[in-house]
Structure formats: structure tokens, C-alpha cells
Structure 1
Amino acid sequence: MNGVSSLLLLLILYPSLLYPQAINDTTLKEATLPNCIRYGLEHQPAIRASKIDEDITETTIKDKLADWYPQLNITANYQHYLKMPVTIFPDLTNPNGPKRELQTGVRNYSTPQLALTQTIFNRDVLLATRTARDVRLSARQTTTANKIDVAAAISKAFYDVLLTQEQIQVLEETITRLDRSLKDAFYQYQGGLVDKTDYKRAGISLNNVKAQRKGAQDQLVAKYAYLKMQMGYPAEQLLELSFDTAHMEVEIALDTLQHIRYESRIEYQQLQTQQRLLQANVKYNQWSFIPTLSGFGYYNVVYQSDEFSKLFSHSFPNSYVGVQLAWPLFQGGKRMYNIRQANLQLKRNEVEMTDLKNNISSEYSQALATYKSNLSEFYAQKENLDLANEVYNTLALQYKSGIKTYLDVIVAETELRATQLNYYNSLYTVLSSKIDVEKALGTLSY
């Protein structure tokens, strides 16, 4: 009995044992940038909608191709004459006399029919067959374009959160330095070495930096919310980013000698697919001059009787097969206008491809110039950071020795803080501009 009870308890608790695992599947244990991008590509609503659109496209294609298969239908009807039809016959006993009016048929009819039709040639189903591959490809390319946009948006949002976190860290370190400077200035004031303006200046600077920190902390909450939105991450779930600033510095490198390959851009690939579809549309309209051809076969069972109770007591079946040819000879020039319109749409697509090439070239040139400028700024700020640290440490020691005034220390500390913030700003900016270059080249990894 104990074994049976344990088994029943396990079966009852089994769903609850699995539930925490289901919750964990919606969170990230290690929120590195690649993991955040992978998560976004699985959970972002735009990507999920694109995948659903792919499924819709697939079912639509199968729906169109189903017209190639034989179509089998059953119909049935019942008919009751309230007034019998009249047919006029010649009088066989008196051929030269007046014709006779006779009621014909019976009052009740029922005709079940089994119909089989088979398309032999029809331009609609032929178009569906020839364009199915490109229609599927077009749906996949839309998903790819959305993935690229999502990857770029997540990357920039990720770096923006890191920038704000580093800014807060810089401000925390600044508060620690200013707090220490405030105490030093106060002790020197008590010792009669300086007047009270030194520690009051330190207090003013400390309050300003605390206010900056509070603003950055509020911004961090908003930027985390934006990153979660780009990822499709649950707003109520905790997300802690995992990163290495040193590794981020390595990531800024980019080969600036790469040449543009238009075929690498998803937008160009989409226009190429659209061009093939438009070429198929031209052929589709040209096929309008070709007749449609189909085969058919019908099997009818006719029931007829004047008495409804005896209607189905006897049947009169008939069947036939045949071929139907439909060939519209004149439609007022409509088919010629449709062909012309299809050719103009194809020509317009070619113009769009030329325009896209020009836009890609311009976009790449601007992105590359911005990246090079931001990269130079980053290296300058990195060098300034080392210099600002050295200047501040030197002036802080000289102030304690009574060589420099506290104003010099405040200026050096302000310059150090500004240089630290500028360094992280330039790091984020160069990483963001690198994403723009890779997107312009069509090499952004997702």
C-alpha cells in the first residue's frame, strides 16, 4: 500500500514539479549579448508574427496547388411541380390539323449527382506551381529582415544599458572620492590650514554628483525596460546583463576595407525575389490568350414519380464524360492592357533596385565615416582617461601637502569624471556605429 500511495502522490505532484522548469524557460540565466539576441529571435513578437506569416503563406500555396488535383463533388436536389409543364405535339391522327397541348413529366423529381472534374490547363494553377518557391522565399526573407532589425535593436539597447551602468559606477567612484575629499578639507579647516570654503565646495560637488547618480539610476530602469521590450522578455522578470568591458573594447575592431556586395543586403534579395514574381506575373497575363482546358465526368441518378411516397422506388441513372475548352476571343483589349501593366510593374521594380543600390552605397559611406570618426574619438578619450587619472592623483597629493589649492583639486576631479563618462560614451557610440556599418554591409550576425 505504501508503494501505491507514493506512486499516486508522485502522479499528483508531477505537473507542479514541471512548472518551475517552464518558468525558467522564459528567463535568461546568463544575459550575454549573444544570449539576449538568441532569446529575442525566439520570443520577440515581430519574429513570432513573421513565422506565423510563413505558415500562412505555406497553407495558401497548398490551397492554390490543390486545384491541380481531381475535384469530386456530390449534389442533390428535389423538385415538385405545382403546375405541370405543357408540351405541344402534332396530332398524329390528323397531321394537317391543329397541334395538341399535352402535360408532360411527373410532379416529383429528385436528382443526386456525382461530379468529377480535372484541370488540364489553367493559368491560375500554373502560376501557383511556378511561383510557389519564390513566394515561400519571400516570406522567409521577411522573417530574416525582421531578425536583422531585432538583432541590431537588441545590440544597441544592450550597449545602452551597459553604458548607463558604467556611468553609475563612475559616479559611485566619484562620490567616494568627493566624500574622502570633503573629510580631508574639513579636517584641514579644523586644523586652521584652510578656510571653510574648501569643504563647502566639496559638499556642493558631492551633492551635484549624487543628483547625477539618481538621474542615471532612473534612466537605467527605463533602458532595461526598453531592452526587455526589444527582446520580448517578461517585464516582471529580473534581467542582469553579463559583460566584460575589456572584451567590449576588443569588439570595436572592424575591417574598414570591405567592399559593398549588394546581394548581401536582405532588402536587395527581397527585390530580386519580387522581380522573379513580377516576371511570372507577366507570363501569367500572356497566358490569358491560351484557352483553359478541363475534363469532367458526371453520374446522375434521376428519381421521378407523381406520388411522393413512391419517388425513390425506381431510378433512371445516366452518366457522361467530356472535355471543356474555354477560349475568350475578344475582351475589349483588356488582356493587352494587363500585359502592359505587368511589364510596367517589372520595369518599376528594376528602377527600385537601382535606387536601392544608390541608397546602400550612401548608407555604407555614411556609416563607415561615422564609425571612423567615433573610433578616433574613442582612442582620444582612452588616452585622456589615463592623463586625467594621473593629473587628479598628483593634484590630490599636492593639496594634502599644501602645495595646491582645493579649487585645483575640484577642477581635476571634474575633468576626471567628465573624461570617464566621455570614455564610456565613446565606447558605446563606436560599438553602435559598428552595428550600423555591419548592417549596411549586410554582414550583421544574428
Structure 2
Amino acid sequence: MSLKTRFSLLGAILICLFSRPTYAQEVLELTLEESVQYALENNADAKNALLETFASKASVGEQVAQGLPQINGTFDFTKNVAIPVMFLPNEGPFADPDNPSDVLPVQFGVNYQSGLGVTVTQMIFDGSYFVGLKAARTYRLLSEFDKEKTENDVIESVKKAFFTVLVNEERKELAEANQARIDSLYRETEALYEEGFAEKIDVSRIKVQLNNIETELDKINAATMISKQLLKVQMGLPLEYEIEITQTLRDLNKPEEISSLLQNNGYRRVEMDQLKTNWELVKLDLKNNTVQYLPSIDANFTYQRNGAGQQFNTLWDGDNWFTGAFLGLSLKLPIFDGLAKSKRIQQNRIQLEQIENQMVMLDDNIEVERFQARTTLQNNLRTLDVQRENMELATEVYNIARIKYQEGVGSNLEVVEADSDLKEAEINYYSALYDALIAKVDLEKALGILR
């Protein structure tokens, strides 16, 4: 087994969850597909979007539950510390000749009371219930589209971060080759100076170039490390793990794939599905406000057992408990609400028009986005071809200048200038390469095929 163990996607997940700190330096070798798949399962936004779909499923169950029987139990216990007094006239058959007052105080109540009860309520008709049930299912569909949109955003971020790492690694390889080339030239020039065939200024010029390329290499190394950290953040991978990309830019950007991408007319966009679903939700809200003009009917049944006693221990005697039961039907008929429902209906109709306008605008924007992304990629590819040719020409010029200098028919200054031109051509090439890669991802997103 090699020193760098290759982990499958499942293995990477298990390592992230269960490995101890002693494995912190283990290297995870990843492809673009593995990076995207890992991100879809571990990126915080993707996980939250998945959880939201679970919540939407639960909301459907909550709406269904409102149409099922609602059963509530009650228990109460009362100690009448001071039993309320009522007054009767002290006259007639209830007159008390021993009481000089014209009223008689009478207590209606006992020291202890308790009761047990069960109430069952069943909705018979409520127009809002059926509309709400459909709205909950539509909301569940919207959460699925929101999840897809979030996943597209995650894929876009991971791809761009992945390509940034690849570009920086290629820049690093080229910078290291440049460093070796300039270091060799520096040693040759220094040897010529010691033998008297070159001037001190020639050595100094090359030393400046060598210092510059070493500084540039430090910057590229830092950029490579930062880009890897950003990729791990986008993937949801713990930062303590080391990653290594096992693919090259050529593997991921084959000419036939680019050509097929440019000829693709595109597919559905989830943003349009989101708008259409929002339109359906507003339409259901409009229907809900409309059906609220209809009456609602509920049936209810209550069963009670009530007991009382003058002493606490007699409260629980069976002879002191009595049964009560009630069966009823309630009808709620809306008569006048100050035109509140009418105003809500007006708002719903305006919202429907607004969403329809947004759908028209989004459809136009999608077409413009596809045209712009396709045009940008084509232009960036042409620019990349030009910069690649410029880099090849600059390399050829540098090699010729160096050979002439070694043969004694060229100057050291020509080599230094050729090297500067070569480095500038390399910077322009990798800048054009990065732009082309980002434009490729943007076109995939615009076409709705970002997977």
C-alpha cells in the first residue's frame, strides 16, 4: 500500500466522523466528483436544506392532524376556603323569626369539589382545512426545489474552489521549474564571472530574477494552501485533514466536452420552478381567504364525573360522584369582519400579478444569462489560446536568448528581459485559464446542468 492511502467517499465520511487526532495528517485523495458528492452530504447549507425538506414533510402531517378528532382530558380540584354567600329575603316560608335582619345569608357550596372530564371535538366542515392541506403539500414541493437550488449553489462553489486549487498547483509546478531554470543560469553566470568571462552586473541581474521567482513561489505556495482551505470549507471537510487532487485540468476540460457544452441549449432552471410554486402557494392563499366566507361546523362530545364533600376523605366516596355527558354541534357563520378578508383577497391577486411579472423577467434573464455565459466562455477560450501561444513564444525566445548568451553572441540583459517576458506570459496564461474555467462553471449553471 502506498504512503498516501486513497479513501473512497464513504471512507472519507467515516474518517471525518470517527477518526482520532492521530490521523490528522492522513491525506485524502479526491476527484471533482468525490468532492462535490462529499459537499452535498456535509456542507452546512446543503444539510440545512435537507432538514428543511424533513420539516416540510412534518408540516403536512400537522395539517392532516387538524382534521382528526381532537381529544382533551381535564382534572380539577377545589378547596373552598370561604364559601360564597347568597342572600334571600327573611320572609315567607323561609323566614327566620330568630334573625332580626330582613335578609338571610345562605351558603351554596361545599368545602371540597373535584371533577374529571374528556372532551372530543371533530371538525365536520371547514373550507380552510382542505386548502391548507394542499398548501402544506405545495410547500413541501417548494422545499424540494429550495434544496435543489441550494445544492446547485454548493456545487458551483465547490467546482470553482476545486479549479482554483488545480490552477494554483499548476502555477506552483511552473514556478518551481522557473526557479530551477533561473538557479541554473545564476550558477553558470557566477562561474563565468569567477573565470573572468562575465561581469558582476550580469550576476546581480540574474540574482534579482532568482529572488523575484523565489518570492513569487512563496506567494503561490500560500495561495495554494489558502485555496485548499477554502475548498475544504465549501465541502464541509474538517480543516485539519490534508487533501490531494488526483485529477488534472486536462482530465476535466476535454475539448469535446467544451464543444458539447457550447452547443447545449439548456434545460429547466430550478429558479423558475421556485417561482411557479410560490405562485401556486399564493393562489392557495387566495382560495383560503375566499372559503373563509363559508361557515364551519364542528361536533363535540363531553363526558364528566363530578364529586363533592364536606370533608376531604368523603370527597372520594363513590356515592358523592355523579356523571354528566354532553353532545353538541356548533356552527360558525361569518357575517362581517370589517372587509378584512376582501382586502386580503385583493393583496393575493396583486401578489399573483407580481409573481407572473417576475416569471416573465426571469425567463428573459435566463436567456440573457445563457447567451452571456456562452459568449464569455467562447471569448475566454480564444484568449486562452492566444495566451498559450504567447507563453510558448516567450519560452522559445528565452531559450534562444540563453543559448546565444552561453555561446557568447548574446548579452545577459537579453536573457533577463526574455525571462521577465516569459513570466509575464505565464501569469497572463494562468489568468486566462482561470477565467475560462470559471466561465465554464457559469455556463453549466446557466444551462441548468450543474451537476
Q: Is the 8 A contact 1:32 1:243 kept in 2?
A: yes
Name which of 242, 246, 250 aligns with 1:246: 250
Match of 1:255, SS? helix
C-alpha deviation, 1:86, in angstroms: 4.5
In structure 1, the residue matched to 2:62 is: 63
Q: Which residue of 2 aligns with 1:186?
A: 190
Amino acid at match of 2:45: A
In 2, Cα distance between equivalents of 1:189 and 1:80: 112
8 Å contact kept, 1:170–1:421: no
Cα distance in 1 for partners of 2:107, 2:17 equals 79
Matched, 1:291 2:292: no
Of 3, 19, 28, 1:23 maps to: 19
CA distance in 1, matches of 2:279, 2:52: 21
User: 1:252, 1:430 within 8 Å by CA — same for their partners in 2?
Assistant: no
Residues 231 and 21 of structure 1, relative CA distance in 2, 3 Å threshold: closer
Letter paired with 2:40: L
1:15 paired residue number: none
Which residue of 205, 208, 211 maps to 2:212? 208
**How many residue pairs end up in the alignment?**
422
Query: Which residue number in structure 1 is paired with residue 337 of structure 2?
Result: 331
Correspondence list, 1:26-425, <5 A: 29-79=28-78, 82-83=82-83, 86=86, 103=106, 106-107=109-110, 108-250=112-254, 252-259=258-265, 261=267, 264-313=268-317, 314=319, 315-425=321-431
Distance 1:431 1:88 in 2: 97
Residue 12 (structure 1) aligns with:
none
User: SS state of the match for residue 200, structure 1?
Assistant: helix
Q: Which moved more, 1:334-343 or 1:49-58?
A: 49-58
SS in 2 for 1:112: strand
Which SS does the other structure have where 2:19 is aligned? helix
Amino acid at match of 1:74: G
> How many Å separate the matches in 2 of 1:45 and 1:20?
15
Distance 1:160 1:153 in 2: 11
Q: Deviations over 1:370-392 (max 9, x none)?
A: 21111101111222233333333
Shift of 1:80: 5.1
Deviation at 1:308, TM superposition (A): 4.2
Name the counterpart of 1:14: none
Decide which moves more: 184-193 or 222-231.
Answer: 184-193
Quick check: 1:254–1:434 contact (8 Å CA) kept in 2?
Answer: no
Report the Cα offset of residue 102 of structure 1.
9.2
Comparing 148-157 with 131-140, which one deviates more in the overlay?
131-140
TM-score by length of 2: 0.85
Contact 1:249 1:427 in 2 (8 A): no
Q: Spell out, residue by residue over 1:308-350, the C-alpha distance to the aligned partner (whole angstroms, 9 max, x if none).
A: 4323322221223222111121112112112112222222221
Answer yes or no: is the 8 Å Cα contact 1:399–1:405 preserved in 2: yes
CA contact (8 A) 1:106 1:306 kept: no
Cα pair 2:303 2:323 within 8 Å, conserved: yes
Give the Cα–Cα distance (whole angstroms) in 2 for the partners of residues 60 and 174 of structure 1. Answer: 62
Question: What is the distance in 2 between the residues matched to 1:442 and 1:327?
Answer: 50
* Unpaired runs of at least 5, structure 1: 1-17, 95-99
Match for residue 9 of structure 2? none
Q: Return the alpha-carbon distance in structure 1 between the equivalents of residues 27 and 258 of structure 2.
A: 25
Partner letter of residue 235 of structure 2? M
| Counterpart residue number, 2:99 | none
Query: CA-atom RMSD, angstroms?
Result: 3.0
Does the CA contact (< 8 Å) of 1:282 and 1:342 recur in 2?
A: yes
CA deviation after TM superposition for structure 1 residue 126, in Å:
2.0
- Distance of aligned partners of 1:19 and 1:110 in 2 relative to their CA distance in 1, 3 Å threshold: same
Alignment check: 8 A CA contact 2:167 2:430 kept:
yes
Task: Determine the C-alpha separation between the residues in 2 that align with 1:215 and 1:21.
Answer: 33
1:275 counterpart letter in structure 2:
W
2: distance between equivalents of 1:353 and 1:232? Answer: 34
1:84 offset after TM fit, Å? 5.1
Following superposition, the deviation at residue 166 of structure 1 comes to 1.5
- Distance 1:319-1:191 versus aligned 2 partners, 3 A rule: same
Does structure 2 conserve the Cα–Cα contact (< 8 Å) formed by 1:74 and 1:113? yes
Unaligned ranges ≥5, structure 2: 1-13, 95-102
In structure 2, the CA distance between the partners of 1:439 and 1:334, relative to structure 1 (3 Å rule), is same
Q: Deviations over 1:188-212 (max 9, x none)?
A: 3344444333222111111111111
The structural deviation recorded for 1:176 is: 1.0
